[in-house]
Amino acid sequence: MNTNDTQTILDQIQVIRVQLDELEKEVRESFPKEEEKVSVLSMAQVRAMMAEKWSQGKRDELRAVLAKYGAKKLSDVGAESYAQLAEDVEQL
C-alpha cells in the first residue's frame, strides 16, 4: 500500500468520525432532557402532602379530591394519578 492509499483511508476515517459525532449529537438531542422528565411521586409523598392539608382542617376538600379519582382513600388511587392528585391537593 502506498502513501496515497494510506492518506485516502485516513481521510475517509476522519469523515466517518465527523459523521458519527453528528449522529451521536442528534441521538442525544432526541432524548428528553433531565428537566423535561416527568416527576414520579410515591404514595408516601402524596400522603405527606395530604396529611399536611388534613392538619390544616381541609378534610372535606381532601375527601372531594379523592372522590374526583373515584376513591375514598389514597390507596384506592392508581399510581399513574399521583402527580395530578398532588397538584389538586397542592391547590387546596
Could you read off the pLDDT of 17-35 as tens digits, one per residue?
999 999 999 998 888 776 5
Closest C-alpha to 79, from 37, 38, 33: 38
3-state helix, strand, coil in the chain (%, to 5): 75, 0, 25
Q: The whole model's pTM is what?
A: 0.57
* Residue numbers in the chain where pLDDT is lower than 50: none
Spell out the domain ranges in the chain: 3-35, 43-90
